[in-house]
Amino acid sequence: MRPGRQLAVLGFIFVVLYSLVFFSGGASGGWKDRLEPRLGLDLIGGTRLTLEATNSIDGKPPTSANLEEARQIIESRVNAYGVAEAEVVTEGNRNIVISLPGENRELTDVGSAAELRFRKVLKAADGSGTVAAPATPAPSGSASPAPSGSASPKASGSASPKVTGSPSAGGQGGGAPAPSASASATPSGSASPSAPAASPSASEAPVSQSIEEQRKAVEKKVGTPAWAAASGLQAPADLATNPALAETLKPFGTLSPQEIAVLTPQMQFNVPTITCAQLDKRPPASIKDEKQQAVACEGGAAKYLLDQAKVLGTDVKDANAVLDQASTWVVSLNFTGDGQSKWTELTREAFNNTGGGCDQTALGQDGKCRVAVVLDNEIVSSPEIQGVLTGDSQITGSFDNTSANALASQLRYGALPVTFVPQEQQNVTATLGDSHLRAGLLAAGIGMLLVIVYSFFYYRLLGSVIFLSLVLSALLVFGALVVLGRSIGFTLTLAGIAGMIVSLGVAADSFVIYFERLKDEIREGRSPRSAVPRAWIRARRTIVSANAITLMSAVVLYIVSVGTVKGFAFALGLATVLDLVVVFLFRHPIMTMFARTPAFLSPRVSGLGRALPPRSADPGTARNSRVKEA
């Protein structure tokens, strides 16, 4: 054979590979920067969040189409943060995993359904559970009545924002005054059965069989007397004047948020022992149906009975985080044509209190109805409507740049078709990532060192073949990781390093197979030069078969696994394939060249040991002795 040809092909592969490493389109920065592979968050730090999807509170799994649509929306929300190399992938038929290498941030909000609803506030009651009778709810975004205008900005964007008219859009219609950002209510006394009741038709829609079964389970848990008393309430009960009723309704305070979610809106609102602490923790999509009334809380203490949703998130054309004239962050809402008509009609209905739907407990400081801005299960604002709005509006409040952009991106990219429950968020610090990287590289170095030491101890000169093969294989793997990281986004994780360490054992096995086959050929009386090609022919099939089994195992593991296990399987398969390249283009050619050297014929130097016959001064004598042995 001509070993120079195989070595030339291997050299060509190296030239092409490292040309891509240093000069491909994704290469940038200095030489050192171009040699850096794309590392996973467990090596450089970052955040990983797992979201479990469910279509509704009955727990049915989502369709694959809905899950993929949700993944795309979540990916758009994550990219809106301006984070490079974010990864959003699906796992199984329920989970979406979000990974942001190099960043540590709260990601729970990107998985919120972001279903925006505008609902008129019909009634208000105390939901803190600290008083026996309905109390005056606190104004939106403040613990006490606040003057018209935005709430005082804070460092955090968690305070309840408010909806106001956008001055630049000419939001006030018919010369009406600008809407007040104050959401104060001035109820007098507790609610009574004589207070205007909301139309029951809005909340008595047919429910699914599973919800009906869950209600029966709740009825059994609280007991028939408590259920009957709660069903008969037409308004929030005054427990201060009726201690017996307070004792009867006490079991409702022990219900879990999941059990509270299946009750009717009237029961959730009228039973004083059902608190905001329970309502705020209801599963996602608990008040998703826009055609039904709903109950939600604001500020953790004010409990509101809300009308049907007259304006939805789909009626919002665009949402942007902007600075207003006071240099505070707000979220500007731009409605669609049909959505603007709905919004104008809703503000007119609230301004005029059409049909008297809002009772005294729900009115603001100036006696006007309020409209609650409901995002998923939470009320983010409930401003008093003091004019008919015919233009765009703003959500204002204690926002900073990050929180305003987060809310705007949720509204801009639309509601998710699937609701999610956060399962696990793992924050990996950069320090911990560096520690993992050092530990992984140290383990790989120790593994390679042990293989090399054993090789030189047992095979001597042949150990240099093993050493050079492992070095070339490592360089090929490293270059491939850099190129694949830029082209297909492959990230090297700690599990991937483990896969490469395992591949060292596979490579060592192929050496043992080849060299022991070579010894067998020499023991059978063949010269080293003729034994090398014959040993290669016999060992080649075994080496290919062993590597093929490893490769198939890696492929199967990659297909059926999720998360970091995929990285392990990919790295193992990649290292196995490149090991075969080194076997065919370097190991066999270099052995052919070694077989022509005098050192290869020395048992002490070559590592072939007793397989070689003793060297004699007369070459013919040595040949005759080998013939006799044969």
Query: Which pLDDT score is estimated for 100?
Result: 76
Q: pTM higher than 0.85, yes or no?
A: no
Neighbours of 541 (CB within 10 A): 10
Q: Rounded to the nearest 5°, which phi and psi values hold at 393?
A: -135, 175
- The helix/strand/coil state of 503 is helix
- Could you write out the DSSP letters of every residue in 27-75? --SSHHHHTPPPBPHHHH-EEEEEEEEESSTT-PPPPHHHHHHHHHHHH
C-alpha distances (whole Å) from 297 to each of 216, 287, 553 are 25, 12, 54
**Rounded CA gap, 622 and 465, in Å?**
27
Query: Which pLDDT score is estimated for 604?
Result: 65
Query: Which pLDDT score is estimated for 295?
Result: 92
Query: Which tokens is 431 given?
Result: 């320090």
Q: Which domains does the chain have, with CATH numbers?
A: 3-38+429-629 (1.20.1640.10), 46-111 (3.30.70.3400), 116-412 (3.30.1360.200)
For the chain, the residue count is 630
C-beta of residue 361 within 8 angstroms of C-beta of residue 191: yes
C-beta of residue 502 within 8 angstroms of C-beta of residue 572: yes
pLDDT average per 10 residues of sequence, the chain (630 residues): 83 91 76 79 76 62 76 72 64 79 61 74 83 41 31 32 41 34 33 38 54 87 90 84 86 88 89 88 78 86 89 83 84 85 89 84 84 80 80 73 76 68 71 74 83 82 84 89 82 82 80 83 79 86 89 89 78 90 87 76 62 50 44
C-alpha distances (whole Å) from 529 to each of 30, 35, 520, 589 are 47, 41, 14, 12
Query: Which pLDDT score is estimated for 595?
Result: 76
Query: Which pLDDT score is estimated for 165?
Result: 52
**Rounded CA gap, 609 and 206, in Å?**
87
Exposed, middle or buried, 523 (CB in 10 Å: 0-12/13-18/19+)? Answer: middle
Query: Which pLDDT score is estimated for 189?
Result: 34
- The half-sphere exposure of 401 on its side-chain side, counting CA atoms within 13 A, is 3
C-beta of residue 64 within 8 angstroms of C-beta of residue 95: no
Position 42, amino acid: D
C-beta of residue 184 within 8 angstroms of C-beta of residue 136: no
Query: Which tokens is 450 given?
Result: 């042990």
Query: Which pLDDT score is estimated for 538?
Result: 86
Query: Which tokens is 15 given?
Result: 């030239």
Radius of gyration of the chain (CA): 36
Sign of CA dihedral 269, 273, 277, 282: negative
- The half-sphere exposure of 123 on its side-chain side, counting CA atoms within 13 A, is 27
C-beta of residue 528 within 8 angstroms of C-beta of residue 612: yes
